């Protein structure tokens, strides 16, 4: 499994305001593009992506962004049966805990946790 977010995760991140210059991005068709150095420099200069592009950060970077910008405490921890992901969403109208059942690797659990948080935030 790739450490990059999936196309669906990238679209939801953009919907939530994620607009960070990243070397990799998805086109609107879902095709993953790795930017060359000159294109990356241009994107940094513009400090944004094109409307039909979706930044493809690593799952770890996306979870860091959610912790910092959305103030959601979340993480993946070793558990007896694998890796368990948990997020505490502090919403004054609907506080909740999101939990991901243990999965076989930290990468899988992180991606599953990111998907659940994004689903919750984009409802």
The pLDDT tens digits of the residues spanning 75-105 come to 999 988 899 999 988 766 677 889 998 999 9
- Give yes or no: residues 95 and 52 share one domain: no
pTM of the model: 0.83
- What is residue 31's predicted lDDT score, i.e. its pLDDT? 87
- Give yes or no: residues 31 and 47 share one domain: yes
Q: What is the mean pLDDT of the chain?
A: 85
Domain coverage including residue 100: 60-122
Number of domains in the chain: 2
SS3 per-residue string spanning the chain: CCCECCHHHHHHHHHCCCCCCCCEEEECCCCEEECCHHHHHHHHHHCCCCCCEEECCEHHHHHHHHHHHCCCEEEEEEECCEEEEEEEECCCCCCEEEEEEEECCHHHHHHHHHHHHHHHHCC
- Give yes or no: residues 38 and 66 share one domain: no
- In-domain check, residue 1: no
- Give yes or no: residues 72 and 106 share one domain: yes
- Give yes or no: residues 103 and 115 share one domain: yes
- Give yes or no: residues 22 and 47 share one domain: yes
């Amino acid at each position: 499994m790739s450490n990059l977010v999936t196309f669906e995760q990238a679209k939801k991140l953009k919907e939530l305001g994620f607009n960070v210059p990243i070397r990799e991005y998805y086109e609107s068709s879902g095709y993953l593009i790795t930017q060359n150095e000159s294109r990356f420099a241009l994107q940094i200069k513009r400090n944004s992506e094109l409307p039909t592009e979706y930044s493809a950060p690593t799952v770890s970077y996306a979870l860091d962004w959610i912790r910092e910008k959305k103030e959601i405490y979340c993480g993946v921890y070793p558990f007896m049966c694998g890796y368990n992901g948990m997020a505490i969403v502090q919403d004054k109208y609907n506080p909740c805990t999101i939990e991901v059942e243990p999965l076989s690797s930290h990468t899988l659990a992180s991606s599953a946790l990111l998907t659940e948080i994004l689903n919750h935030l984009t409802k």
